[in-house]
Every structure is written in structure tokens, then in C-alpha cells.
Amino acid sequence: MQFSEFEIIENIKMHLAPTTPNIIKGIGDDAAVVKKDEQHVSVISKDLLIENIHFDLKHTSWLDLGKKAMAVNLSDIAAMAAKPTYALVALGVPQKMTSAEISDLYTGLEYIAHEFSVSIVGGDLSRSPDKLFISITVVGEVTNSGCKYREGAKEGDGIYVSGPLGSAAIGFSGLKKKKTIDHAYMQAFKNPRPRIFLGSLLAECSYVHAMIDTSDGLVQDLEHIMTASKMQARLTLDDIPLEKDFHDTCKKLRLDPVETMLTGGEDYQLLFCMDDKKLPNLLKKLEMKRNIQIHRIGSVMKRNSDSETPTIQIFDSKQKEIKIKNKGFDHFKN
């Protein structure tokens, strides 16, 4: 295909202008946002997972596939700082799939939905000619002022991420190459955790100005924030959080560690921009949440008028700029 995923999205946006004042945010963010009442908004997200594009049944159980399918959809709600409430599940089922496999898939879907107090309230079912299709719609809720968008990052903001990056990419590579690697990488790929609790906490923080989840890779997802906010970012490579044996594992799998940490997707961490001066306030809120950590990895700068300056600049400990070939996952180019 001659167009990138994001060029196609921009084309579609021209056909989908908001039709009522209740639509606060349509296409172009992690979820749509519509007015619910005077104090709250509804956040609505939909994801499609296709066999051999988003998952390979040689590398996952039906139970784990169900868990991951629900988790990645809930992550979009977390990225808007909302709490998920309801889900609709649609399946395109190939004839080769058995009733026991469908049951295991739904057990996984229900497991994650129940953990995060989400009710699966319906969906749709169709026969598929060959591959399994999973389409999930999730509805969430948050206060008007608490909802976070990709736009809004301010000059001088710090850039923060909620946990290790590149781990899911390593897990996927380990499975493909049939190499024994640390369990943490396998879990990152097979059983990602939506950051619902952190997202809801950040809804209370007016000094958090923009947010997204790292589904397509750090550089690509951060570029979405910078583009929407009309800003630039400067990242410090050594500040990016990694699992402790990250570099050794990359060497074992013959992966480029820099490319993996910067462009490896499916980690589903929260990536957000906030006023650094308010960091003590946020850390105080996190004191009782020992399993939630945040890491400062860079800063937001005013956009340079020079069109040759990249939206995101990355520097190592010696202040040498790092160049990368690919920014992250693109459905129509990867």
C-alpha cells in the first residue's frame, strides 16, 4: 500500500467532522470523547485484532489471547485518564475454531474485564473465511477536567513514562526465535497490563498536560503528542527505564538495543508530559502505590521553525545525537 497508516487516518478525518456539540474529541486521539453530563465525559475506544497481523496462535494460548485482547483495549481508556465501565466484543470466527477454544478466549476476556470492573454487555458474531478477527469497543468515564489528550504538552514540561520499554519486543523476538529469556519479557508481550489505576490518578492532576500509551513504540507515540501539541521533545537515552538484563538479552537475541527501546511497541506504558515543579505533588500521591513508578526521560521544547529539525531529538550520555531508521509500528508498512 502506498500510504502510511497515519496518512490514511488523516484522510479519514476529513470525512468525519463532529456533527453535534456533544462530541468533544472525535478521531485523532486514543479514544473519542463525548459529553455525558455537566461534570463527566464518556470515553469510547475500539480496537481490531487480526490473526497473523496482531497475534500468532503458534505463540499464544486462547486464554492469554483473550486477556491481551481486552487489556490492550483498556489501555486506550487509561491513556485518556478514564475508568473503563463497559465493553462490546465482536468476533469473526473461522470454521477451524472449536467451541472449547471460543470458551477459553472468553474466559481470558472476562478475566481482565472483571479485574478492572468492566462489564461485557454484548457484541456481535460472524463467520470468517479463514482468520480470527477480534473487535472490542470499550466505554469509560472521567470528569471533564480530568480527561487527558495527546495535545496540551507545554514548553518546559518533563516527559515521563510508567515503566520499562522495549520489553514486549524482546518477548516477541524470544518467542519467534525459540530462545529462553527472562519471564518478565514474556509477560510484557503475552500479558500486558493496562495502567488504569495510574491513569485514574493522573486525572486528578491538572499539571499533567498530555498523555498517550506506548502501543506503537516510544518515538512514534511521543511524536503523536508533540505533533498534536505543536512542540518538540528532547530525550535522554540513559534515562529510559529498562529491565536490568535488557542489553544482555538484546545481544542474545541479536537485537539492536537502541532501536528496541525506542521503537519496540506493545509495552502499553503511559507516556505523559507534566510540569516538573509539580513532581513532588505526584510522588506524594504515589507513596501508597508501591507498585506504580514513573521515570523522567526527557523534556518538551518550543518547536524549532527549522523544518529540518526532527520533532524528537535523542541524545546519549555524551550528548551525541542518536538517529534511528524506523519510528515504530505502522500497519501498512511493517
Residues 102 and 206 in one domain: no
Residues 64 and 197 in one domain: no
Query: Are 66 and 105 in contact, with CB atoms under 8 Å apart?
Result: yes
Residues 126 and 267 in one domain: no
Query: Under 8 Å CB-to-CB from 106, ≥6 apart: which residues?
Result: 66, 89
Residues 259 and 311 in one domain: yes
Q: What is the total count of domains within the chain?
A: 2
pLDDT at 324: 82
Would residue 167 count as lying in a domain? yes
Residues 113 and 87 in one domain: yes
The pTM (predicted TM-score) of the whole model is 0.91
Residue 189 and residue 59: Cα distance in Å, rounded?
10
What amino acid is encoded at 100 in this protein?
A
Q: How far is CA 305 from the centre of its chain?
A: 29
Strands 312-315 and 321-322: antiparallel
pLDDT at 332: 39
Would residue 333 count as lying in a domain? no
Would residue 50 count as lying in a domain? yes
Would residue 151 count as lying in a domain? no
Residue 57 and residue 251: Cα distance in Å, rounded?
27
Of the three residues 82, 113, 143, the one that is the final residue of a domain is: 143
Render pLDDT for 259-318 as a digit per residue (tens, 0 to 9).
Answer: 999 999 999 999 999 999 999 999 999 987 767 889 999 999 998 776 667 899 999 988
Query: Under 8 Å CB-to-CB from 275, ≥6 apart: which residues?
Result: 154, 156, 157, 158, 207, 209
Residue 69 and residue 193: Cα distance in Å, rounded?
11
Residues 172 and 261 in one domain: yes
- End-to-end CA distance of the chain: give it in Å, rounded: 11
Residues 50 and 89 in one domain: yes
CATH number of domain containing 96: 3.30.1330.10
Residues 251 and 276 in one domain: yes
pLDDT-flagged residues of the chain (< 50): 330-334
Render pLDDT for 102-137 as a digit per residue (tens, 0 to 9).
Answer: 999 999 999 999 999 999 999 999 999 999 999 999
CATH number of domain containing 288: 3.90.650.10
Would residue 152 count as lying in a domain? no
Residues 131 and 221 in one domain: no
pLDDT at 290: 67
pLDDT at 330: 44
Query: Are 209 and 273 in contact, with CB atoms under 8 Å apart?
Result: yes
Which residue range(s) make up the domain with 131?
A: 5-143
Would residue 334 count as lying in a domain? no
Query: Under 8 Å CB-to-CB from 41, ≥6 apart: which residues?
Result: 24, 33, 34, 35, 82, 141, 142, 143, 144, 147
Residues 209 and 277 in one domain: yes
Of the three residues 143, 176, 199, the one that is the final residue of a domain is: 143
For the CA atoms of 124, 127, 130, 134, what is the dihedral angle to 10 degrees? 10
Query: Are 60 and 66 in contact, with CB atoms under 8 Å apart?
Result: no
Angle at which helix 167-177 crosses helix 183-190, to 10 degrees, equals 100
pLDDT at 323: 86
Residues 288 and 206 in one domain: yes
Residue 275 and residue 79: Cα distance in Å, rounded?
18
Would residue 153 count as lying in a domain? no
Of the three residues 93, 117, 143, the one that is the final residue of a domain is: 143
Residue 222 and residue 228: Cα distance in Å, rounded?
10
Order the strands of the 40-50 sheet from edge to edge.
23-25, 32-35, 40-50, 133-143, 83-94, 119-128
Would residue 70 count as lying in a domain? yes
Residues 170 and 136 in one domain: no
- CB atoms under 10 Å from CB of 294, counted, come to 21
Residue 305 and residue 222: Cα distance in Å, rounded?
19
**If we measure between CA atoms, which residue out of 270, 298, 262 comes closest to residue 286?**
270
